[in-house]
């Protein structure tokens, strides 16, 4: 079992980020060196191919960095092929009903939990010699399924969704959820706080983890204090922009101060 899934089962906090642009597998080494426990590869809004995903996963496996992928839709060919490419698990966006959740589990898990076709590549099992039964059981146990909660209807159905066997976590997509609730971008609005708390409480009742993906560190810590354990901070590009912008600002301020000092009598 990968360490992120084990930690979530034990109620421990794990930290990750979202990869949105960088396809060089070296990005995994950077995120591992920074101390993250996992990364999400965004295959919903970005341009990652299965080959790029597989290349990043290979590096992640050598670093004990869990690599999960946000697929575009809860479709069998997207779910099964992404897992066959080596991903440790999936985040599926815009999930709103328990029927869709059951379809996700069916596509992601081998029998008896699901109906995924058997054909794991070497990247999934590290080329270990295993019986068919042992492979199915090991992969089922290792695979993480995260539901992304982004709509008002999902909040209304949250207990029925996270109670489906095979679901490991529910993660808030705050921008889309705020839009659905009629308060676009107001992540601290009372309607948002109430809705997100419903997810945290439902996950606690049904033994699943809860989490959120957000760039605001204070809000991330706010929800961690309230029981969230799957904490996803910012993105690869956003962190580079923040660091670069801060560095340039400090340099220009320093150069301005030097110029002013040189002009003093």
Active site residues: 45
Element of type H or E holding 59: helix 50-63
Q: What are phi and psi of 153, to 5 degrees?
A: -60, -35
Alpha helices in 35-131 (DSSP H): 50-63, 76-84, 98-108, 122-125
Q: What does each C-alpha distance from 163 to 121, 125, 196, 203 come to in angstroms?
A: 30, 29, 17, 8
**How many Å apart are CA 159 and CA 164, to the nearest integer?**
9
**How many Å apart are CA 68 and CA 129, to the nearest integer?**
24
Q: What residues does 172 pair with on adjacent strands?
A: 149, 212
Q: How many helices (H) and strands (E) does the chain have?
A: 13, 8
Element of type H or E holding 209: strand 209-214
């Amino acid at each position: 079992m990968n360490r992120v899934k084990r930690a979530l089962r034990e109620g421990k906090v794990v930290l990750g980020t979202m990869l949105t642009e960088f396809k060089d597998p070296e990005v995994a080494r950077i995120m591992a060196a920074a101390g993250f426990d996992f990364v999400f590869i965004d295959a919903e809004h970005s341009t990652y191919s299965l080959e790029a995903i597989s290349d990043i996963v290979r590096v992640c496996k050598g670093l004990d960095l869990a690599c999960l992928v946000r697929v575009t839709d809860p479709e069998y060919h997207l779910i099964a092929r992404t897992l066959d490419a080596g991903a440790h698990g999936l985040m599926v966006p815009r999930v709103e009903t328990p029927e869709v959740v059951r379809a996700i589990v069916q596509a992601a898990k081998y029998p008896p939990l699901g109906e995924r076709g058997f054909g794991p590549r070497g990247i999934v099992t590290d080329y270990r010699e295993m019986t068919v039964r042992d492979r199915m059981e090991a992969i089922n146990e290792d695979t993480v399924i995260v539901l992304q909660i982004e709509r008002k209807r999902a909040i209304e159905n949250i207990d029925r969704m996270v109670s489906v066997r095979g679901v490991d976590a529910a993660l808030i997509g705050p921008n889309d959820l705020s839009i659905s609730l009629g308060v676009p971008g107001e992540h601290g609005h009372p309607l948002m706080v109430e809705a997100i708390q419903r997810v945290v409480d439902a996950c606690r009742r049904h033994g699943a983890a809860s989490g959120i993906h957000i760039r605001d560190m204070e809000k991330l810590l706010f929800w961690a204090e309230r029981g969230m354990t799957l904490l996803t901070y910012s993105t690869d590009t956003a962190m580079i922009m923040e660091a670069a912008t801060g560095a340039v600002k400090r340099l220009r301020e320093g150069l301005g101060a030097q110029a002013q000092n040189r002009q003093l009598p």
